[in-house]
Structure 1
């Protein structure tokens, strides 16, 4: 199903863990890494396609994730001619994608790259949010950068634990004499952004 300009509707998925690291999948039998993505079937909404692709490629169900955001509009990339089947050349130009930012609320063990008979990935890992785009196939790098940039403002704040309390020490920042705040016992754990 192509639009008038030759772009196939598609969804992309940026899946976060609790540390705001992203799921990074290695394409089956290649050295190419990417986010889960896939086409929108006739009659599907982008959200329905996202949940279907999430299960097909990563093995997760809707109860394993929380939707944090999605891109406002379609992000497009063109596919070079040598990657397009000969019978589609002249009609097919590339993908237009709605990108979703998801938080994994399940466990890593809920993921299953063999959830269907047609796996997309043969390995996965967690990576920093700003993934090394040089391992992404060149013609997708721009759309990855656009999606990551647009959705970065929706990243949940992570908790930073007070380093003094982790070491079993009192929080001395509030009282120069070394007395804990409130005068009795260790300081309450501090959080930041």
Structure 2
């Protein structure tokens, strides 16, 4: 399902542990490309339904293993580099994403990168909230900055309990 402007609807998943660290995963393929879990929204799905499907497929967690803390208000878009744009119809020039910040309720041992068919990731780790901003592939960097900035208040509430302005934005 690609919109009239060529953007594919997608969900982005920022999964935080109780200490506020976020799950950072390495894509299969040997290029040392790390990112947050993400995936397309099917035509018959809501963004929230896609979130739970992608969460289970990519990291083996279910709705019972997480709590939604916040979601971005509008669509955040990024364009693919020209060499990655599919030329045949329907032409996809990028992705438009709804980003979810989740609190992980399960134990780390519940993360299973092989849960949903061929794995998309081969390794994961916990990193600080702003760490991904300088490490993600360059064409996704602005979307990551906007998503992290929009969700930081909810993230800081998780970490600090009250004063959500204490972690400075490194964006």
TM-score calculated relative to the size of structure 2: 0.89
Structure 2: runs of 5 or more not aligned: 164-171
1:83-114 deviation digits (Å, cap 9, x = unpaired): 1233258x321000000000001110111000
Matches within 5 A, 1:39-118: 39-88=40-89, 91-118=91-118
Does residue 11 of structure 1 match 2:11? yes
Question: 2:137, 2:23 → 1: CA distance?
Answer: 17
Q: Which has the larger radius of gyration?
A: 1
Root-mean-square deviation (CA), in Å? Answer: 1.7
Give 1:138 shift.
0.8
Question: 2:105, 2:55 → 1: CA distance?
Answer: 14
Q: Which has the higher contact order (CA 8 A, sep 6+)?
A: 2
Matched position secondary structure for 2:131: coil
Q: Which residue of 1 aligns with 2:133?
A: 133
- The 3 A distance-change label for structure 1 pair 23 and 9 is same
The 4+ residue runs of structure 1 with deviation greater than 3 A are none
Note if contact 2:18-2:158 (Cα within 8 Å) is conserved in structure 1.
no
Question: 2:162, 2:52 → 1: CA distance?
Answer: 32
Matched position secondary structure for 1:38: strand
Q: Which residue of 2 aligns with 1:35?
A: 36
TM-score calculated relative to the size of structure 1: 0.79
1:52-84 deviation digits (Å, cap 9, x = unpaired): 000000000000000001000000000011012
Matched position secondary structure for 2:83: helix
Give 1:157 shift.
4.1
- The 3 A distance-change label for structure 1 pair 129 and 96 is same
Matched position secondary structure for 2:58: helix
Question: 1:6, 1:117 → 2: CA distance?
Answer: 28
Question: 2:101, 2:71 → 1: CA distance?
Answer: 6
Note if contact 2:24-2:132 (Cα within 8 Å) is conserved in structure 1.
no
Give 1:116 shift.
1.8
How many aligned positions are there?
161
Q: Which residue of 1 aligns with 2:143?
A: 143
